Amino acid sequence: MTTTLSGQTLTETARSFTLSRVVDASPADVYRAWTEAEHLTWFFNPGRPVPDEAIEVDARPGGEFRVMMDEEEGKSYWAGGRYLELVPGRRIVFEWGVRGGWPDLDAIPAEQRVHCTVALAPVGDGSQTEHVFTCAFPAGMSDEEIASWVAVGMREGWAATIERLTA
């Protein structure tokens, strides 16, 4: 297979990507940015109108965060994730997607869901945070299915989203 992800050929052993950044905020503040509705506005696409729909957050395992994304004129959809693990100030694990959104978790079997992990660690005096975002494709997903996600710009989309948080 010739599809690459950040210079890596996608094979049975290369089934994830990682985006690392240092954020000028404490781990507790970055954690709140991912888990509290009033702090999740960084998720919105820049240059687009702020949607009327409220951000929804149910920060508990099994709960979801949902953000209405306005991508372009006539194209908006719910995006977000379903939390699997929450360790305040340290770690967030979620399935990428939401019910009735994109991707629609209700339409994807559990063994086909992409898992995302946000690992947070203090830097220096703790006023900065090492933010490591990893997106892992499930073992049940074929190389061709992974290639289709790569082709629609999944890595680039997450990189742009994470950049908005770090700005």
* 4-166: CATH, from 3.90.950.20, 3.40.50.720, 3.30.420.40, 3.30.530.20: 3.30.530.20
Q: For 144-165, write each residue's pLDDT tens digit.
A: 999 888 888 899 999 999 999 8
Q: For 64-91, write each residue's pLDDT tens digit.
A: 999 999 888 888 999 999 999 999 999 9
> pTM score, two decimals?
0.88
Q: What is the pLDDT of residue 125?
A: 97
For the stretch 59-93, what's the b/e string if a residue is b when 16 or more beta carbons lie within 10 angstroms of its beta carbon? beeeebbbbbbbeeeeebebbbbbbeebeebebbb
